Amino acid sequence: MPDPIFERYKEALRAGHVAALRGRPDDALQHYRLAASIAPDRALPHVGMADVLLRLGRHDEALTASAAALRLAPLDEAALDLTARIHSAGGRGADAAACLDRLVDIRERQGRTEDACAAASRANDADPTDVRRDRVAALRAAVDTERARLADSGWAPEAADDLGAAAALAPTGPVATVAPVGPVAPVAPEAPLDPEAVVGPGAPGASGEPGAGAKPATQAPESVPVDPDALFVAAEDLAAGGMAQEAAHLYVLASTQYLEAGAADTAVDACLRALATAPAETDVHLALARIDLATGHDDRAAEKLDLLDRLLTLEGDEEGLAKVAAFRERTVSPDGSTRTHRHPRRTPGP
């Protein structure tokens, strides 16, 4: 894509995302349509339009937009999930289940058994059949086998394998009024945009490999935009190119800047995008805990960190545990107590 055209596309897409984040659906739709007209081979603007239209209750238009995205990117997980949700909202359970079946196939091929099981359960709920019930049972058995293998390795703190543990790490209860967001899951690779045009040369994942002088994904590229809206759009572009960890890193940076600017609701939105892109990234969950602390929800932050400790201990992720410990040390109340620590951390056994 020639640079001037890319810049116009990027700006239209950025404006659409920002308008959706800030609760201006009509503006968001206008900008997404412009982005689609500039780059008719891209699925992302259509996914954005479909999500906004679904939130507005305009189901037929939403389905038209998501169908356009799937024509351009048939394996796009965000488009498949969104199309299933549109069908469900319209009472078309069999059509929703068919989309989810395709999502299960994709996730199984990628070895993402728990994600596949979740999609299979939704498919069976939408349109129960013997075949779907058997598939759910087989996937649940595979998940249980994997959890048993981890437990046998000696990292098995009590309650760490609760089915709801991972879900409990996501934000619950009102942190602030969250404005509508754009697509809720990362867009599968679709001839990715050039990340160097978004975050500068040497950015993680640029041209498929770290560039000269590139920093690891845990550090910010030197040329990352400082404006949080620009960071958010840069993250969207990286997610669209299949670079989940790099995208999650930029979402977290954007969230931090939004929070520092007093926009807690938008900070939550950025974290939700990061969760959808890379749900296992420790930094994302720490960013959510930081928002809880900043908005006075200390107990909720403590619960998140306790659950995160248990899951990381179960997985033997010492790097992640070190991050959580460092976060706790940085969040000490004026009286010297640690606001985010309620239970002693359990260290992995021999």
Q: What percent of the chain has pLDDT over 90?
A: 30
Confidence at residue 314, expressed as pLDDT on a 0 to 100 scale:
66
CA distance 200 to 284: 23
Task: Kindly report which listed range (101-115, 202-216, 312-326) carries the lowest average pLDDT score.
Answer: 202-216
Last residue of a domain, one of 75, 91, 107: 91
Residue type, 147: R
Tell whether 210 and 322 lie within a shared domain.
Answer: yes
Last residue of a domain, one of 44, 63, 91: 91
| Averaged confidence pLDDT in the chain | 74
Residue 338 main-chain phi, psi, to 5 deg: -90, 115
Compute the average pLDDT of residues 72-77.
89
Confidence at residue 213, expressed as pLDDT on a 0 to 100 scale:
33
347 found inside a domain: no
Confidence at residue 332, expressed as pLDDT on a 0 to 100 scale:
54
Look at the chain and report how many structural domains it folds into: 2
Tell whether 53 and 193 lie within a shared domain.
Answer: no
Q: Tens digits of per-residue pLDDT, 12-42?
A: 887 887 787 677 899 999 999 999 999 899 8
CA distance 25 to 17: 10
Residue 111 main-chain phi, psi, to 5 deg: 75, 15
Tell whether 178 and 86 lie within a shared domain.
Answer: no
- Give me 321's structure tokens: 């545990």
Tell whether 172 and 37 lie within a shared domain.
Answer: no
SS3 call for 338: strand
Instruction: Provide the residue range defining the domain that includes 27.
Output: 3-91
Compute the average pLDDT of residues 137-166.
65
Closest by CA position to 168, among listed 177, 159, 155, 176: 159
Q: Is the pLDDT of residue 226 over 50?
A: yes
Q: What is the dihedral of CA 123, 127, 131, 132, to 10 degrees?
A: 20
CA distance 339 to 323: 16
Q: Is-contact 159 165, C-beta < 8 A?
A: yes
Cβ neighbours, 10 Å, residue 12: 21
117 found inside a domain: no
**Mean pLDDT: which of 10-19, 245-254, 336-345 is highest?**
245-254
Q: Is the pLDDT of residue 223 over 50?
A: no
Last residue of a domain, one of 91, 116, 149: 91
Q: Tens digits of per-residue pLDDT, 253-267?
A: 999 888 887 788 788
Confidence at residue 155, expressed as pLDDT on a 0 to 100 scale:
44
CA distance 176 to 182: 18
Q: Which residues contact 113 (CB under 8 A, 6 or more apart)?
A: 107, 139, 142, 143, 146
Q: Which residue has the tokens 């796009």?
A: 76
124 found inside a domain: no
Confidence at residue 195, expressed as pLDDT on a 0 to 100 scale:
35
Tell whether 175 and 317 lie within a shared domain.
Answer: yes
CA distance 293 to 283: 15
Residue 39, judged by CB atoms within 10 A of its CB (0-12, 13-18, 19+), counts as buried
Q: Is the pLDDT of residue 109 over 80?
A: yes
Q: Is-contact 181 273, C-beta < 8 A?
A: yes
Q: Is-contact 75 188, C-beta < 8 A?
A: yes
CATH number of the domain residue 214 falls in: 1.25.40
Instruction: Name the maximum alpha-carbon separation found in the chain.
Output: 60
CA distance 63 to 75: 16
Task: Kindly report which listed range (9-23, 107-121, 336-350) carries the lowest average pLDDT score.
Answer: 336-350
CA distance 119 to 97: 9
Q: Which residue has the tokens 């019930």?
A: 133
Compute the average pLDDT of residues 227-238.
84
Q: What does pTM read for this prediction? A: 0.51
79 found inside a domain: yes
199 found inside a domain: yes
